[in-house]
A and B are shown apart, each in its own frame.
Chain A
Amino acid sequence: MNDTFKITIDGKEIEARQGQTIMDAADAAGIYIPRLCSHPDLKPIGSCRVCTVVVDGRPQAACVKPVMDGMVIENDTPAVLQHRRNIIDMMFVEGNHFCMFCEKSGNCELQALAYRFGITAPQYPFQFPEKEVDGSHPDILLDHNRCIMCARCVRASQELDGKNVFQSIGRGFHRKIGVNGEKELGDTDMAVSDRATEICPVGCIIKKRVGYEVPIGQRIYDKAPIGSDIEEVHP
């Protein structure tokens, strides 16, 4: 059985395989679809919606939508880009993102996406919500101010660490990441060596005593925009 076929992204025909998501196929072809909650080592959940594309006229999250023979996909169109930008803006205003002193700055995927989109300021008003900082763990800091609810930590703990340290609690605007302990992160079996520690795209979960290790200018997104690595596959 032939399980490879063609799909079209922005008018460019590319090869896709049965079982791939749109994002997988695009990545392999060197087409970057912006994303945040998605991570190559984790099951996709389609929660951030940044990877929204238009498939045969309907919006779909590229990270979860499986490819089908002959799919026609719009990725890099003004309308799609505008929706994505709006979502990025929403993430900035729903939390308290103080990039100027965040240890993750320069390596933060949310910030990098905003840079890639050329966002100088979000178009929505900052909400300045009250959030907790959990410093109870000896090696790990959990700062809810920076959380974007991508649930990478939830999945990494379950899928990669074989634990269950995190889960979403509450709902709506008050939804947050809960920990599997009586009170705080220090009550859980989280270890600094867990994948869940380093998989956070923003500065919500960070290792203590690392600080601003990499000098400005040498951080991941100082020189090249996020997604450049994927785009370099097929120049």
Chain B
Amino acid sequence: MSEMVSTIKKICKRYGNDRARLMDIVNEVQDALGHVPREAFGLIAREANTHRVEVESVVSFYAFLSDKKQGAVVIRLCDDIIDRFKGSEAVGDALVAALGIGFDETTADGKITLEKTPCIGMSDQAPGMLVNDTVITNLTPAKIPDLVRQLMANPDPQALVAEPGDGNNADSLICAMVNNNIREAGPVILADYRKNAGLRKALTQTPEEVIEDVKTSQLRGRGGAGFLTGFKWELTRKARGTEKFVLCNADEGEPGTFKDRVLLTERADLVLEGMTIAAYAIGAETGIIYLRGEYAYLRGFLEHTINQRREAHLLGNTILGHEGFNFDVRIQMGAGAYVCGEETSLISSCEGTRGDPTDRTPFPVVKGYMVSPTAVNNVESYCCAARIMDKGPGWFASIGTARSAGTKLLSVCGDCERPGIYEIPFGTKLRELLARAGAEDVAAVCVGGPSGQMVGPAQFDLGISYEELSTGGSVMVFSNQRDILEVADAFMEFFVDESCGYCVPCRVGNVLLKNRLERVRKGVGEQKDLDYLQRLGESVKFTSRCGLGQTSPNPILSTLKNFRPVYNALVKENKTGFHKSFNIMKAVEQASAIAGRRSEIFHA
């Protein structure tokens, strides 16, 4: 039996030859073999009791999985707009020069593969890159030759970490050069807290009372959608099903967001405490943390934290002596797919399939993971829930605004003196936040990431809240040196790359939107191209199936609304009826080269 065959069989066996664990299986095959070979699709399918095409379907979906042999070391340069503005393109050039290969290529000796990847959650210390699971931050082109030399001498990327970052980043189980950059701690999440006080309190109440408390606190989902957490728990509790599940959405993929990274590093216990409270409230015995592939460096630490909690009877059977309350948590690794942050996609991915979203009737609270009632909540929401149980719903509800209770963790990045984490009470004005972050000459702020909105100074007096400026955490600052439409273009590129392609408007519409925006940016657009962008954007928003497509036109729609003069300056009146977007010289360029002569008609 070849080594590949035995390796694959061993991996499949470790996951119980269970098709529902296909994500873990292919992730491990990728780690073990450097890729998931096409020749192995059939074998994996047989071993995992599924079909060959299902394996291909999964492998072809996730950016971190590949059916082509990759190097033992894979460098993924973060290609976010924030990173670009901080010089990632020059870093990329330096990598290309030092490695002697282009992007999406592997060195001749087969050792190192170079790729680009969307936001890795390090925008506060950009430019950054992943070297396998190891995060390298604050890159400069000058640092690259040395880094590459070291990697060639020693392929262990961890050896590149000279000095670990602050807090738990220095923990031996993390040992990352990442810094937390906590700039302002608020009372709810980043304040000192009494560990497990919330859980102990919850266990003195009935599950219904716990739900009532969370409802009273007015806690709304911190991922950005803002659904009332207590209500979600209540629906899950009341839904019929023998098994129920608690899922933690740690697929922090919205570009410019990195607050969950910090929570998982510094408040891992609080997250798990919140999940345990949720499990008690809804009657779940199994929890899953869906951890984005980019945060694989936190996995060992999180697993250790889970183990410690098991030992302390905070997880496992008869939690804290509470008869009949059993709950345990596993980690599900993602593999590079933004759409998996959408809760139904996340569930699909946990079930071992491609991360296509599913229809939201029935909702996950009724039929979610394994067709069972499932509560999916954001990392930060679980932290809030634990603190609410400890300090009381009234305390929580008294912070923030009437419709947005509590505090919000913001990840501020871009053109400011002090990028990092700010825990602010809801209602804090954007202008105030910008001042605290040391942002001057600000032309635009992207609130909520690409799926949020681009706002200008006229909106700076709005408050951060569900009712005014809603955000899952991302706040990207752009100074007046930046080209707003370059930002919008980069965001559209992101959505084109990340659309799952399931529904037509998102699969096709985003490509068309991006192409037309490029036309306008090149100065060959017309006024009617702006109407085209508006109408097409509205259709994509209106008809798309999931949150990705329903928000993907926002970079264009919000800039059309808030930065119209920028567009107007680019489009000109055209009365000739000849489209400027058609460039005859460019169209004959190839034929001209082949024939070795210029156009007789147009080259006057």
A residues in contact (CB < 8 Å) with B: 45-50, 52, 59, 61, 64-66, 82-83, 86-87, 90-91, 93-94, 123-125, 127, 148-149, 164-175, 178-182
Contact = CB atoms under 8 A, between A and B. Distances in A.
B543 A169 contact: no
A49 B504 CA distance: 7
23 contacts: A47-B502, A47-B545, A49-B503, A49-B504, A49-B505, A49-B543, A59-B542, A64-B359, A82-B539, A86-B505, A87-B505, A87-B543, A93-B512, A124-B536, A149-B502, A167-B51, A171-B337, A171-B354, A172-B500, A173-B499, A173-B501, A180-B53, A181-B53
Given A66-B361, A149-B501, A49 B544 contact: yes
Given A83-B543, A90-B505, 18 more contacts: A46-B503, A49-B543, A64-B359, A83-B539, A86-B543, A91-B504, A148-B504, A165-B53, A168-B356, A169-B53, A170-B60, A171-B499, A172-B500, A172-B501, A178-B60, A179-B53, A180-B52, A181-B53
A178 B53 contact: yes
Interface in B524-549: 532, 535-536, 538-539, 542-545
Contacts of A168: 57, 354, 356, 501-502
A170 B545 CA distance: 18
B509 interface: yes
Contact of B542 (A52, A124, A166, A167): A52
B200 to A, nearest CB: 42
B500 A171 contact: yes
A171 B543 contact: no
Interface of B: 42, 51-54, 56-57, 60-61, 337, 354, 356, 359, 361, 496-505, 507-509, 511-512, 515, 532, 535-536, 538-539, 542-545
B503 A52 contact: no
**5 closest Cβ contacts across the A-B interface?**
A175-B501, A180-B53, A90-B508, A167-B53, A86-B539
A46 B543 CA distance: 10
Contact of B507 (A66, A86, A124, A175): A175
B54 A48 contact: no
| Most A CB within 10 A of own CB, among B498, B503, B508 | B508
Contacts of B57: 167-169, 178
A172 B496 contact: yes
A156 to B, nearest CB: 15
Contacts of B42: 182
B56 A178 contact: yes
A180 B52 CA distance: 6
Contacts of A180: 51-53
Contact of B56 (A46, A93, A167): A167
A164 B51 contact: yes
Contacts of B54: 164, 167
Contacts of A48: 503-504
B546 to A, nearest CB: 10
Most chain A Cβ neighbours within 10 Å, of B356, B498, B501: B501
Provide the main secondary structure of the chain B interface: helix
Contacts of B361: 64-66
Nearest to B337: A171
A168 B498 CA distance: 16
A172 B355 CA distance: 12
Nearest to A51: B543
A94 B53 contact: no
Nearest to A183: B38
Contacts of B51: 164, 167, 180
Contact of A170 (B61, B337, B512, B544): B61
Contacts of B356: 168
Contacts of A66: 361
A87 B508 CA distance: 9
B511 A127 contact: yes
B535 A86 contact: yes
Nearest to B536: A86
User: Which of A93, A165, A168, A171 counts the most B-chain CB atoms under 10 A from its CB?
Assistant: A171
B504 A169 contact: no
Contacts of B501: 149, 168, 170-175
Contacts of A175: 500-502, 507
A123 B532 CA distance: 9
A174 B504 CA distance: 12
A124 B512 contact: yes
Which residue among B337, B359, B536, B544 has the maximum number of chain A CB atoms within 10 Å of its CB?
A: B359
Interface centre among A94, A169, A179, by most B CB within 10 Å? A169
A48 B54 CA distance: 22
Contacts of A49: 503-505, 543-545
A4 to B, nearest CB: 20
B508 A93 contact: yes
B504 A172 contact: no
A87 B541 CA distance: 12
A33 B34 CA distance: 49
A174 to B, nearest CB: 7
Nearest to A148: B504
Contact of B539 (A87, A148, A172, A181): A87
A165 B52 CA distance: 10
B537 to A, nearest CB: 11
Contacts of B545: 46-47, 49, 61
Contacts of A90: 504-505, 508-509, 512
B503 A47 contact: yes
A90 B504 CA distance: 7
A43 to B, nearest CB: 10
Contacts of B498: 172
Contacts of A165: 53
A123 B516 CA distance: 12
A91 B508 contact: yes
B225 to A, nearest CB: 14
B339 to A, nearest CB: 8
